[in-house]
Homo-oligomer: A and B are copies of this chain.
Amino acid sequence: MKLTILGCYAATPRTLTNPTSQVLEIRNRMFLIDCAEGTQVQLRKNKLKFSKINHIFISHLHGDHFYGLIGLLSTFMLFNRQTDLHVYGPKGIKEIILLQLRLSESFTGYNLYFHELTSKESEVIFEDEKVIVKTIPLKHRVYTNGFLFQEKPKERKLNVEAVEHYNIDTVYYRKIKYGGDMTLEDGTVIPNAELTFDPEPVKTYAYCSDTMYDESIVPLIQNADVLYHEATFLESEADKAAKTMHSTAKEAATIAKLAKVKQLLLGHYSTRYSSIELFRAEAETVFPNVLLADDGAVFDFD
């Protein structure tokens, strides 16, 4: 599980900082999460292949989270993309995109599917054989969802010495990796535990931006390997956080502690502060394992 931060600052794009967008690579899938203005250039700078993105998740319809979407979709057209593309986001996103394509008399050569979200309860919005994605309803000024990315259980690891010892044919390996026992020709049953090792543990990534402090998300993100939680302000600006329905670093850390996540990743910083290290320092007073998102940062969580 690898996360690349394309942008992690609040509000407006600036010369050296970018608003929110990140790429999660998990089990060979590449998910784009939010897509602020400039995201396509950030993808290029970080040498991420546009063509590997098939699913884009938009948390909410504030510009610093989606103004780059129309440009990215247009670039896919120019690149003559053929593969299906899925966009998950609040109701209204389809109208915004299609209006602009219609007025520019453009047609996508690829199928563009919109999955418009309206539910205020968590729901599964993507699932294949390896990964499942659920919404995390958040509390912000407009309808907003976070996203929970969960690996499905991996196949068990073959104990090569054991299978060779029992002279098991390779055609049975797949069955064994999926937990099956093995019956030998003489009728002896070899239990799976003797033929395999436990698989690598599955990973979970919870993305929560933008939101006010909200303990109701804790059950959804319980024990996540990584929680990205917005921290737009420090406690010294707690009044501004409350007014704008954002969180402070301390509040983000409190959620991390309550949810017993392994690591907290902070982002969506207001640019008013002299150093993002201030966010880490404040969060660490509550929760020990704090990482800082920064534009271009790559986190390998394997």
Cβ contact of A67, chosen from B11, B70, B90, B141, cutoff 8 A: B70
What 1/0 flags go to A65-76 for Cβ under 8 Å of B?
001101100110
Cβ contact of A71, chosen from B15, B37, B44, B104, cutoff 8 A: B37
**Closest residue to A141 on the B side, CB-wise?**
B105
> Which residues of chain B are near A63, meaning CB under 8 Å?
70-71, 74, 100, 104
**Closest residue to A38 on the B side, CB-wise?**
B38
A243 at the interface (CB under 8 A from B): no
Given contacts A63-B104, A142-B104, contact A68 B99 (CB under 8 A): no
Residues of A within 8 A of B (CB-CB), count: 32
Q: Nearest Cβ in chain B — how far from A137, in angstroms?
A: 17
Cβ contact of A142, chosen from B14, B96, B105, cutoff 8 A: B105
> Which residues of chain B are near A96, meaning CB under 8 Å?
96, 99-100, 103
Given contacts A41-B13, A75-B12, contact A61 B99 (CB under 8 A): no
**Closest residue to A41 on the B side, CB-wise?**
B13
A92 at the interface (CB under 8 A from B): yes
Q: Nearest Cβ in chain B — how far from A169, in angstroms?
A: 52
A71 touches B67 (CB 8 A): yes
A44 touches B61 (CB 8 A): no
Q: Which of A33-71 contact B (CB under 8 A)?
A: 37-38, 40-41, 44-45, 61-63, 67-68, 70-71
Which residues from chain A sit less than 8 Å from chain B, CB to CB?
11-15, 37-38, 40-41, 44-45, 61-63, 67-68, 70-71, 74-75, 78, 90, 92, 95-96, 99-100, 103-105, 141-142
Listed by A's residue number, 8 A-B pairs whose Cβ atoms lie within 8 Å are A11-B75, A13-B41, A61-B103, A67-B71, A99-B99, A103-B142, A105-B141, A105-B142
